[in-house]
Structure 1
Amino acid sequence: MEDKCCSSNEKELITVESNKGCCSSQSEKVEGSNVEKIDSCCSSTDESLNSTNIKKTGSVSSCCSSNDEDTNQSTSTEKSSCCSSKMEESPINHTTSTEGKKVEYRIHGMDCPSCALTIEKGLNGLHDIKEVKVNYNTAKLQVVGNDGLSFDQVENTVQKLGFTAEPLKQNKKVKTYSVEGMDCGSCAKSIENHLNTIPKVKNVNVNFSTGKMKVEHENSVDEIVSEVSKIGFKASVFENGSKPTETPKNKEGYGLIIFTGILIALGFIGSYNGISPILTTILYAVAIVISGFKPVKSAYYAIKSRSLDMNVLMSAAAIGAALIGEWFEGATVVWLFALGTALQNRSIEQTRKSIRNLMDLAPSEAWIKVGSELVKKQVEDVAVGETVVIKPGDRIPLDGEIIQGETSVNQAPITGESIPVDKLIGDSVYAGTINENGSIDIRVTKLVEDTTISKIIHLVEEAQEQKAPTQAFIDKFASIYTPIVFVLALVVIVLPPLLGFGTWGEWVYKGLALLVVACPCALVISTPVAIVSAIGNAAKNGVLIKGGTFLEKAGAINAIAFDKTGTLTEGKPKVFEINALTVSEEELISTALTLEDYSTHPIAKTIVGYAKDKGIQSKNGELFKSIVGKGVKATIDGEIHYAGNLKLFEDMHIPLGNVKTQVKEIQSQGKTVVIIGTQIEIMGVISVSDTIRTTTVKALNGLKQVGVNQVVMLTGDNEGTAKMISKEANVNRYFAELLPEDKVDAIKQLQNEGHKVAMVGDGINDAPALATANLGIAMGGAGTDTAMETADIILMADNLEKLPHTIKLSRKALAIIKQNIWFSLIVKFIALVLIFPGWLTLWLAVLSDTGAAIIVILNALRLLKVKG
């Protein structure tokens, strides 16, 4: 049985008994004849991925990939992680023999490979579908269908499954709008419902948190803007992905609020100074009409589109109050609602500025060198390969590589690093960063839509649009709570007076108060504003958090595991000491250079680099051979020479004398030893060490201060080196002599001990461990597209100094979300309790709702101020 399409470049593919994944590789041979069940997408670049020894594994529910020559999973019992190989990006099999309509989407919301399987199964059930492929690692969906296939149906099906599909090649009929005036999630829903009633509108997606709306429509932009204005909001279109304009201050709106406030005050004062009741009623009525026009108009369209938002509830309360003669109450209700809405909009706009500020970083024009002249071009018109000239003090307009000049660049907008970085010819620079000193020429390497800053903006927007588990729960709760309280309000208005418990006026008033309390605006707004604020703050500090889910997970982390090489250490070994025994130092280095020159091992490269820096020449060698796990050998001047570890020489029974003691002592200092010798003697010893990063100790101490009680190091090095580095770095514990699969076991061991574990690596080589951990954190995202694709959190700079800030920010966000939720619930509960004794007036009910909403927004805005 084969439930899914598997495509590969391998020479042989043996169908397994139940293959529910998509196995794609560049391997020569994939055998799965004894695998009972594979639930994953397996991708690799190995020469041979052999699974014939996987017996009774039950379920391999991960995405496995490696660069190993041979991956043997014979001991695997269950793998529930997603591993991604050292590749740029897995394509979604663009080459296919199936003819028909083809489209690709970016899928938002997948959190494990089984989500990809769910989407595939859901779409395969549609008519006119020929082929569906979902790649979890790159979050891409490819659909091939007959000419009758409706791609709207594809997007709607994906949405019903709980995910969002965004066409990668933007449909020309889909336009993005900025929407002003939304003060809670129910407003977004009302806009969606209203626009969906228009025949020429195919699809609508409104995001309250970011204030953005995507509409696929056949009618004009002006008609969409007009329809949105009918329900009380203001929409403006983004042309060709241009930067949004700053939201203008609504002075007219504040002027009307002040004017109606004066009318209500005059009416209130007049009622105590003998002024005619008719005149005071007129003042209140005018105030109701002016302040209530917009919410009543919005309420009309909300009801028409079967929505039950705050406008409906507030309008019903105000009109009801007027009908029972409570003109002051009605006027106060609409005035407080208008004032509260204006304050909410002003507050929430601060959270949306985080995106706008990022967009403003990169300049819109660039000076291009054409021959001997400089020509100014829009960045959208600049092609890859063109030369851009950047003067001192200017922002760099596009990603590129320096081909002339040298300077220092302030990379804080991208990486959060406060100290400028020196840049020479051949170094990469990023759009949005600032050229501090010299004039430089750069060769453009990426188009404007592919630059690092563009990807950051896209990721941040995508993250802010994702619903965290808490937010999803609150939205579901609100969708049940509001109609229940609405029905309860109707029961309160009708039933007690019918049964003879009090007058109609008394119970209608209580019912109206209950209507106002029915809107859970403060509760619904409590989570998304906090998440948007936290993600915006993190992005400003060079940290990309890819959604509210990961923000919440980061806040719960109490153990962090680090890969040693390249994470805790520089990842650039240096020759520490040369100890020549039977030959001169120069002779020893020359022999080592000859032996190691053909090796690709990092330590071999270090020795070769050291020798060449010293100007030492290699000897004439031949018959080079690598001895796996031990070293290398070659024939030099007719004699076989060796370079390798202690085990190599012990196995050959070469007399070591006191060299063994010397090697053990060097290893105990955390250094790696390379022994040079022949079959007769030991010529000398070269020790190599990898230095710890300058920021490591400070970062790890910072993590402990913010409450991470287990800081763990994972390394493939020997016990002595691991022990020494662990002391230097001040980690709690370490796991030494680990193979890549052993790192996964170490993560699982920590999880079994009850820890919520984050794994920090480079996003590529440590992929199995990153995926197994509760949270995957990649370093150096500014230089690696793969890290930006695969990790949950990305530290854009290649260091750890922002990690404590990330954990602190996440915990602060969790605390604020909890505060907001409890505050909103308590306020609602108190308001509900006060209704029945008659203590809750209508204006107090409004104040409890809009006031609470403003308080939770302001509380969430504190996250923008958390220092990095």
Structure 2
Amino acid sequence: MTAAQIKTRYRVERMDCASCATKIDTAVRRLPGIEDVSVSVPGRSLSVTHGDGTSPREIMKQVSRLGYAIAPAANGQKPHDGDDSHHSHVHGDEESGTPWWRTRRALLTIASGAALLVAYAVGLLVPGAGYWAFVAALLVGLVPIARRAIVAATMGTPFSIETLMSVAAIGAVIIGAAEEAGMVVLLFLIGEMLEGVAASRARASIQGLSALVPKTALVEREGGTVEVPADTLAVGSVIVVRPGDRIPADGEILEGSSEIDEAPVTGESTPKRKSVEDPVFAGTINTDAVLRIRVTAAAADNTIARVIRLVEEAQESKAPTERFIDRFSRYYTPGVVAVAALVAILPPLVGGAEWGTWVYRGLAVLLVGCPCALVISTPAAVAAGLAAGARRGLLMKGGAVLEGFGKITAVAFDKTGTLTEGKPVVTDVIGFGRSEREVLSLAAALEQGSSHPLARAILDRAKADKVPVPPALDSGAIPGKGVVGSVGGTNVFLGSPVAANDRIRLSPEQEADIVRLNDEGKTVSVLLAGSKIAGLIALRDEPREDARRGIEWLRDEGIRTVMLTGDNRRTAEAIAGSLGMEAQAELLPEDKQRIVRELQAEGFRVAKVGDGINDAPGLAAADIGVAMGGGTDVALETADAASLHGRVMDVANMVSLSRAVMGNIRQNIAVALGLKALFLVTTVLGITGLWPAILADTGATVIVTANAMRLLGWKAHPAGAA
């Protein structure tokens, strides 16, 4: 986007279907200075890229003329009630929280149905007035539809669904089928109403995330706590979260340790133990202890707000299949009108057939051809898929990314922080003349107070094993070698094998143990107590708990997996070997990018998985870049997709979700086209008429939408060991 271009975003209410989106898109593009338009039905949003000479007021006026309520998205205002915003439009009032049966759409449907019942009663009581009673009943539902058709036609959409419906209904009245025309309009309104309910459900699935964040927070002020609205919390504020409360903001723990239930945000099934310096997300639940937390993001920028924003923007990005369907429908609808005209005119003109019969069949063909089910087949599935993924911590930036995952044939993983936890843990404790607990106790005594990752790992292991940690006197670090101190009157040293060997000669057996541990990719520290070797402590950045299962799933699906790391070859091969994947080690960022390009040159479609910072070149080069630990700004903004809870299994789940969505889309297209083909033949042959025609269109739309909504219940593969 150039400096002269501006991107504005709006909330559009009463927009529930693909036809609505097409009309808005076409109308806005007709304005001068418009560069690009993106419309999201599930997100109820409109994004417009335009020159600085185009006024947002012009854009809003153009959309409101179509009968939709619109307001700038950023300021959160309700749509205005000016002269141009009150046009009648059957697409509902969900923005105000109105139950579906009280929306304009539902009330119009009920009124149309009631008018038809009255017309039937009049026809029974006064047979001579029956025809005109049905004409009057028809007008109740048809007038708003026809008005929308006229407005859409004047703004660049002459072949809208409303136009087809209006022509068919008016034509039916002309040939004396007013009763059928009234029923057709009612069925059309019922179909729109059901479509709107389904669209609202898709929206509620992702917007429901915002309800997870509590409305208030306890802020520390002047030695006490004050309850304030959560959306007023400033970055740097210190809040207190009691056991059982939801955390009101993204932050970092300053004091306390507790199990945090992240299931509402990430889908993680088991709570995580978090303590000082660990990050926490807004909307997660503090289960068992009081925490003091420093706020790290304002309400508009917390994890949940960013997830909602990301998904809404993603829904504006069309998948390749959706773009194809859009292009197809531009030619399809005029084609249907042409075919319907030929069916109505040719047999009477050429073969002398009865005009009334063939005009009736032509009108039925017009209704059969309504492209609503076809047009909504892809966006409904994509929207439901994006929402289902977001609810489970799988964030994908648009339909193209969601569709692309199903075509991935190779995945290149970073090691540290991606396949592994990103921090070392103690894997082995070996004692020589002392128990393992004694070795761990002496080592932990020396490391007290240190923030070094290896020291923290030893202290964490001592805490987990409930090993006593005695005080150490005169302790200190020897740069490049290790730490020394006095524990219980004994001089103790913990350091590298080389530094330890300079002090006391290691035996061949001890050296063999060190070599074996090093070959497993582990870092070994040697503990000396007095004049003897007390033991060895081995540490390694271990694979994530679900890494093996995730890699096995990908491999079983025929997807090649490779580790790309800057770490040493021995460590890389040890970790990769334990996971059953190939490894390339000692790589610079540009090397990772080069290898991704080489895989693509071999014909692979490559996903690159990393932390979103030092893997940026590889992420950019890949067909799809995936950032692990999507709670960070970098992860959400630099990659095509992000895993909110940073699990290897999430990559497999993204592939699985993509395949489920694409399968759903294929089913939808088959239903939409299959029903139309069937009823087109039966209509031309005179087997079916207007009612079955509109039932075919409405039925196909409802089936397609309901089928897409099934994706909201999609189940992710569980994490954990294979």
Q: TM range, normalised to the smaller chain?
A: 0.7 to 0.9
- Asked if structure 1 preserves the Cα contact closer than 8 Å seen for 2:554 and 2:560, the reply is no
- Asked if structure 1 preserves the Cα contact closer than 8 Å seen for 2:252 and 2:276, the reply is yes
* SS at structure 1 position matched to 2:395: strand
* SS at structure 2 position matched to 1:240: coil
TM-score (norm 1): 0.66
Equivalent positions of 1:209-608 (< 5 A) are 209-213=42-46, 231=66, 233=68, 240-241=75-76, 245-251=96-102, 253-254=105-106, 256-258=108-110, 260-261=112-113, 264=116, 276=127, 278-307=128-157, 308-372=159-223, 374-494=225-345, 496-499=347-350, 501-574=352-425, 576-577=428-429
* Partner amino acid, structure 2, of 1:690: D
1:213 Cα deviation from its structure 2 partner: 4.0
1:824 aligns with 2:672: yes
Taking the aligned partners of 1:444 and 1:188, their CA distance within structure 2 comes to 39
1:183 aligns with 2:31: no
Taking the aligned partners of 2:151 and 2:294, their CA distance within structure 1 comes to 54
1:558 Cα deviation from its structure 2 partner: 3.9
1:788 Cα deviation from its structure 2 partner: 1.4
1:487 Cα deviation from its structure 2 partner: 3.5
* SS at structure 2 position matched to 1:393: coil
Corresponding residue number in structure 1 for 2:610 = 761
Taking the aligned partners of 1:383 and 1:821, their CA distance within structure 2 comes to 49
- Asked if structure 1 preserves the Cα contact closer than 8 Å seen for 2:414 and 2:564, the reply is yes
* Backbone CA RMSD of aligned residues: 4.6
Taking the aligned partners of 2:318 and 2:361, their CA distance within structure 1 comes to 35
Corresponding residue number in structure 2 for 1:866 = 714
Taking the aligned partners of 1:399 and 1:542, their CA distance within structure 2 comes to 16
1:847 Cα deviation from its structure 2 partner: 1.7
Q: Note the alpha carbon deviations across 1:327-386, whole angstroms, 9 max, x for none.
A: 123112211111111111111211111232022222333333332454443334332233
1:659 Cα deviation from its structure 2 partner: 7.3
* Partner amino acid, structure 2, of 1:823: V
Corresponding residue number in structure 1 for 2:89 = none
Equivalent positions of 1:186-201 (< 5 A) are 186-193=19-26
More helix as a share of residues: 2
1:284 Cα deviation from its structure 2 partner: 1.7
- Asked if structure 2 preserves the Cα contact closer than 8 Å seen for 1:399 and 1:429, the reply is yes
1:788 aligns with 2:636: yes
Taking the aligned partners of 1:856 and 1:204, their CA distance within structure 2 comes to 26
Taking the aligned partners of 1:493 and 1:751, their CA distance within structure 2 comes to 54
* Partner amino acid, structure 2, of 1:402: I
- Asked if structure 2 preserves the Cα contact closer than 8 Å seen for 1:416 and 1:542, the reply is yes
More deviation, 748-757/513-522: 748-757
Call closer, same or farther: CA 1:279–1:356 in 2, change over 3 Å: same
More deviation, 371-380/535-544: 371-380
- Asked if structure 1 preserves the Cα contact closer than 8 Å seen for 2:569 and 2:584, the reply is yes
Call closer, same or farther: CA 1:621–1:413 in 2, change over 3 Å: closer
1:449 Cα deviation from its structure 2 partner: 1.5
Call closer, same or farther: CA 1:497–1:224 in 2, change over 3 Å: same
1:536 Cα deviation from its structure 2 partner: 0.7
Taking the aligned partners of 2:160 and 2:182, their CA distance within structure 1 comes to 20
* Partner amino acid, structure 1, of 2:140: I
Call closer, same or farther: CA 1:463–1:644 in 2, change over 3 Å: same
Taking the aligned partners of 2:318 and 2:565, their CA distance within structure 1 comes to 36
Taking the aligned partners of 2:297 and 2:456, their CA distance within structure 1 comes to 31
Larger RCO: 1 or 2 (CA < 8 Å, sep 6+): 2
Call closer, same or farther: CA 1:434–1:619 in 2, change over 3 Å: closer
Call closer, same or farther: CA 1:179–1:201 in 2, change over 3 Å: farther
More deviation, 745-754/735-744: 745-754
- Asked if structure 1 preserves the Cα contact closer than 8 Å seen for 2:576 and 2:583, the reply is no
Call closer, same or farther: CA 1:515–1:778 in 2, change over 3 Å: same
Equivalent positions of 1:791-802 (< 5 A) are 791-802=639-650
- Asked if structure 2 preserves the Cα contact closer than 8 Å seen for 1:413 and 1:542, the reply is no
1:520 Cα deviation from its structure 2 partner: 1.3
Call closer, same or farther: CA 1:232–1:683 in 2, change over 3 Å: closer
1:752 Cα deviation from its structure 2 partner: 5.2
Equivalent positions of 1:591-670 (< 5 A) are 662-670=513-521
Call closer, same or farther: CA 1:810–1:618 in 2, change over 3 Å: farther
Call closer, same or farther: CA 1:402–1:230 in 2, change over 3 Å: same
Taking the aligned partners of 1:412 and 1:665, their CA distance within structure 2 comes to 40
- Asked if structure 2 preserves the Cα contact closer than 8 Å seen for 1:399 and 1:428, the reply is yes
Taking the aligned partners of 2:74 and 2:37, their CA distance within structure 1 comes to 18
Corresponding residue number in structure 2 for 1:775 = 624
- Asked if structure 1 preserves the Cα contact closer than 8 Å seen for 2:175 and 2:356, the reply is yes
Call closer, same or farther: CA 1:598–1:861 in 2, change over 3 Å: closer
Corresponding residue number in structure 1 for 2:84 = none
Equivalent positions of 1:674-753 (< 5 A) are 687-703=538-554, 707-715=557-565, 721-729=571-579, 731=580, 733-740=581-588, 741-744=590-593, 746-748=595-597, 750-751=599-600
1:753 Cα deviation from its structure 2 partner: 5.3
- Asked if structure 2 preserves the Cα contact closer than 8 Å seen for 1:187 and 1:309, the reply is no
- Asked if structure 2 preserves the Cα contact closer than 8 Å seen for 1:231 and 1:299, the reply is no
Taking the aligned partners of 1:320 and 1:366, their CA distance within structure 2 comes to 62
Corresponding residue number in structure 2 for 1:79 = none
- Asked if structure 1 preserves the Cα contact closer than 8 Å seen for 2:404 and 2:624, the reply is yes
- Asked if structure 2 preserves the Cα contact closer than 8 Å seen for 1:735 and 1:746, the reply is no
More deviation, 469-478/694-703: 694-703
Q: How many residues were matched structurally?
A: 667
1:666 Cα deviation from its structure 2 partner: 3.0
Call closer, same or farther: CA 1:404–1:530 in 2, change over 3 Å: same
Taking the aligned partners of 1:610 and 1:249, their CA distance within structure 2 comes to 56
1:762 Cα deviation from its structure 2 partner: 2.0
Equivalent positions of 1:9-158 (< 5 A) are 123=2, 143=3, 151=4, 154-155=5-6
Corresponding residue number in structure 1 for 2:694 = 846
1:296 Cα deviation from its structure 2 partner: 1.1
- Asked if structure 1 preserves the Cα contact closer than 8 Å seen for 2:40 and 2:315, the reply is no
- Asked if structure 2 preserves the Cα contact closer than 8 Å seen for 1:177 and 1:214, the reply is no
- Asked if structure 1 preserves the Cα contact closer than 8 Å seen for 2:429 and 2:535, the reply is no
Corresponding residue number in structure 2 for 1:147 = none
